[in-house]
Amino acid sequence: MRIIAGLFTGSVCVRAVFRSPSLPYYPSRFQQESMMGEFDAIRPYDDAEVPAVLARLLSDPAFLDILTHFRFPRAAGALGWLLKPLIARRLRKEFAGVTCVSTLQDKVEYYVDQTIDRATDGVTYSGVEQLKAGTAYLFLANHRDIVMDPAFVNYAVYHAGLPTPRIAIGDNLLQKPFVSDMMRLNKSFIVHRSISGRREKLAAYQLLSAYINHSIRNDATSIWIAQAEGRAKDGDDRTDSAILKMFHMSRKDEPFGAVIQSLNLTPVSISYEYDPCDQAKARELYIRATTGTYKKAPGEDDNSIAKGITGYKGRVHINFAPPVTEYHEDTKQLAAEIDRQILGGYRLFPVHYLAYAMWEGKDEALQVPSAERVFPADELAKAKEEWQRRLDACPQEQRPYLVLQYATPVRNQYQVRQQAPVA
């Protein structure tokens, strides 16, 4: 069981498996019928499809090969021919009684909880109390980690006793069919980003828009999606207006502002004390700055996923801003408001202030206090030790980009504070 749980943790939006025991996910007959047909190419699997998908997964050579290497890294090469059928037999027995999404989630929930506990110093959240049972939300969040961002949002929603959202996942991460199957078993839906043709891309985003609107307005099921395509590797969390435009695409006969109001768009700030991928991000930023381009190595996304899940994050905080209720005429105006909410709701830890103090790009006009004035001595001493360790592990030429990642949120938040109207 630990084998499959580990892979679910490593390959899926983890806490898409978080589910309130009192509020299981059972699509109604209407919901199942309404999701069929138009959205088949992107929607999550429903309960009726679970047995067939599981059978397909447990017969997939690539899937079994990954499991074998995950569980027996040393023996997988020479003895893979023997281990793979044994693992498949064990998993078929383990999952024999699984006939719906909620039962599958129950199987892996305990192990996912363990993973989060081992990799953090605690998870806190704010604003979640304003979320109402029976209401679907469009959670628009900053994006720092491929898997753990939606996982921690689901963690907060789960602990509030509410159903977890459906998760948007880019098809660039679905290089193998079994990964797509695993994602869609866990309430994830597919965003087609790898399409190059203008007409095809337009059709894909039209479908995505229709699905998001359908999920919230017809299925009463929440959605999680990042505020921009790709992670904010420089720590600068900004909303891409194209994402906001996409929400409106399937309802162009209605005013933009009215469509947004109907979706209960809720800005979410996800704050990590430490980013397990910060060294890799610093390297990428350095290479981009010095060569003008960066090409990912094979398996790089997989490594980022694994490191993001298992790596040390320190404390994690998730803030839910109030749903956007004001009428916004266009995407630019709405993006500015979402940025204000996400940047203002970001929790700054001691490491952020330490990085800002040594950042060459800091804004001298901002009145940013020193870390010593904000945090107690014992907390600050611990942070200084960890920050120095990360600096020492980073090549000298790449350090400015490591500093940038942690310092930028400080600048952004204090700019928001400075621009806030005086009460």
Alpha carbon 275 to chain centroid, angstroms: 13
CB-based contact 319:159 (threshold 8 Å):
no
Predicted pLDDT at 66: 77
The 3 state secondary structure assigned to 159-209 is HCCCCCCEEEEEHHHCCCHHHHHHHHHCCEEEECCCCCCHHHHHHHHHHHH
Pairing of strands 223-226, 138-141: parallel
Both 158 and 124 in one domain: the answer is: yes
Domain end among 305, 320, 346: 346
What is the mean predicted confidence (pLDDT) over 72-92? 86
Predicted pLDDT at 181: 86
Both 257 and 313 in one domain: the answer is: yes
In a domain, 248, yes or no: yes
- CATH value at residue 194: 3.40.1130
Both 416 and 271 in one domain: the answer is: no
Q: What is the DSSP track for 253-310?
A: TS-HHHHHHHTTEEEEEEEESS-TTHHHHHHHHHHHHHHS---PPTTHHHHHHHHHHH
Both 228 and 276 in one domain: the answer is: yes
Both 365 and 267 in one domain: the answer is: no
In a domain, 163, yes or no: yes
Model confidence at 35: pLDDT above 80:
no
Predicted TM-score of the model (pTM): 0.86
Both 142 and 287 in one domain: the answer is: yes
Domain end among 346, 370, 387: 346
pLDDT tens column, 368-408? 999 999 999 999 999 999 999 999 999 999 999 999 999 99
Closest CA to 242 of 186, 191, 171: 191
Residue 206 confidence class, pLDDT cut points 50, 70, 90: very high
Residue 375 tokens, joined? 């945090």
Helix (H, G, I), strand (E, B) or coil at 97: coil
Both 319 and 378 in one domain: the answer is: no
Both 206 and 281 in one domain: the answer is: yes
Pairing of strands 316-320, 123-126: parallel
Spatial separation of the C-alpha atoms in residues 368 and 411, rounded to whole Å: 8
pLDDT tens column, 178-193? 778 887 887 899 998 8
In a domain, 95, yes or no: no
Q: What percent of the chain has pLDDT over 90?
A: 62
Model confidence at 194: pLDDT above 90:
no
What is the mean predicted confidence (pLDDT) over 155-169? 89
pLDDT tens column, 107-131? 766 666 777 888 999 999 999 999 9
In a domain, 42, yes or no: no
Both 360 and 322 in one domain: the answer is: no
Summary mean pLDDT of the chain:
87
Domain count, the chain: 2
Residue 201 tokens, joined? 């891309």
What is the mean predicted confidence (pLDDT) over 129-134? 95
Both 342 and 353 in one domain: the answer is: no
Question: 249: phi > 0 → left, psi -120 to 50 → alpha, else beta; which?
Answer: alpha
Model confidence at 17: pLDDT above 60:
no
In a domain, 237, yes or no: yes
Spatial separation of the C-alpha atoms in residues 56 and 43, rounded to whole Å: 18
Spatial separation of the C-alpha atoms in residues 188 and 43, rounded to whole Å: 7
Both 206 and 235 in one domain: the answer is: yes
In a domain, 410, yes or no: yes
Predicted pLDDT at 18: 31
Instruction: Give me the domain span that covers residue 123.
Output: 108-346
Both 231 and 140 in one domain: the answer is: yes
**Total length of the chain:** 423
In a domain, 404, yes or no: yes
Residue 336 tokens, joined? 């500015």
Spatial separation of the C-alpha atoms in residues 132 and 45, rounded to whole Å: 26
Domain end among 295, 319, 346: 346
In a domain, 69, yes or no: no
